[in-house]
Amino acid sequence: MTPLRSPLTLAVWLLAASLLLCIAGVAVGSLGWEPVWTRSGEASAAILWDIRLPRTLGAWVAGALLGLAGAVAQGLFRNPLADPYLLGSATGAALGVAVLLVLIGASPMAAGGWLARLGLTGAAFAGAVAAVLVTLGLAKGVQHTLRLLLAGIVVGMVFGAVAALVMFWVPDIMRAMQAFLLGTTGFLGWASVGLLAALFAVSLAASVVFSRALDALSLGDTTAQSLGVALGPVRIVLIGVMALATGAAVAQVGLIAFIGLVAPHLVRAAVKPTHRWLLPLAALAGGVLLLAADVLARWLLAPRELPVGVLTAVLGGGYLLWLMHRRPL
């Protein structure tokens, strides 16, 4: 990809792509391309304003949260292969959902209605936060990024194994968890959009404030400390931002793969920004990627809908394989 002249140019292109995808998102329905704004009536208005528009906007904001969390993770761990799920938040969210389904004895039909909108969201967020706290406890704080990284991997494996064991022990919940594990934007409503937007604004503002600290951390801990960066407090804030953004997105749309990993890569392939630009640009790229995947998931096999998490995994994995082939290690 030929580098662009400025990050501002890329931001304009990403905003334009977001607008076009939003239009496509409200035009694609259960039967494929169905621009309901060309039809009059209360039913068409309800479909547009109560179903398609919140789903479209929610998918974009959830993708933006994952893209932002991915950029923070890669800067914090100084690793281009770092993703938002490194601290075990994804498997923690899965375990929270599994435990809730077992406790309330929900059937797959019940989990597809009000429970999926309210109860599963809270359980997923609580599980993600619990996994991050366990990771921090095992790592004995945030002083050593390598120890934190290894603790996150261990917590992710253990929480994932426990979630699988819960599903094995109570197989009735497997179908109820399928949508969450494969990723879906189908349960997004205006309440979800408002919550995601508020948390995105907080996460973006906090990360941009510490963007210079991320630039310094990319030079190494010793150099960053010599530049006046308080390593402990800065890492605590950045880990909090990453956990908040990831937990919020996962709680609303389930496990969406590769968005947080690929979005910062795409930005760096186009421009070479500092973190002050990389963070918002990665958020824009993440929103574009998830919304594009959601539109494709609804349109490709209409009236059947592909799991959006599966589609992002295929497309994101394909991109990384192409990148590895083009730039061998």
DSSP letter, residue 327: S
What pLDDT, on a 0 to 100 scale, did the predictor assign at position 142?
Answer: 61
Structural domains in the chain plus CATH codes: 7-326 (1.10.3470.10)
pLDDT digits (tens, 9 = 90+) for 109-163: 444 444 445 566 778 788 888 888 898 888 876 667 778 888 888 998 999 899 8
DSSP secondary structure, 188-243, as one string: --HHHHHHHHHHHHHHHHHHHHTHHHHHHHTT-HHHHHHTT--HHHHHHHHHHHHH
Confidence of residue 279 (pLDDT cuts 50, 70, 90): very high
- pTM (2 d.p.): 0.87
**Tokens of residue 12, six digits:** 């304009």
The position carrying tokens 């059937």 is 107
pLDDT at 152: 87
Residue 316 has pLDDT above 90, yes or no: no
8-state DSSP, 107: -
Q: Which residue has the tokens 């030929």?
A: 2
pLDDT, position 2:
47
26 contacts 294 by C-beta, under 8 angstroms:
no
* Contact present, 251 and 116 (Cβ < 8 Å): no
- Identity of the amino acid at 184: T
pLDDT digits (tens, 9 = 90+) for 4-53: 568 899 999 999 999 999 999 998 877 777 776 566 667 777 888 888 89
- Label residues 264-285 b or e (16+ Cβ within 10 Å = b): bbbbbebbebebbbbbbbbbbb
DSSP 131-177: HHHHHHHHTTSSS-HHHHHHHHHHHHHHHHHHHHHHHHHSGGGHHHH
Give the length of the chain: 329
Please identify which residue in the block is written with the tokens 């991997």.
153
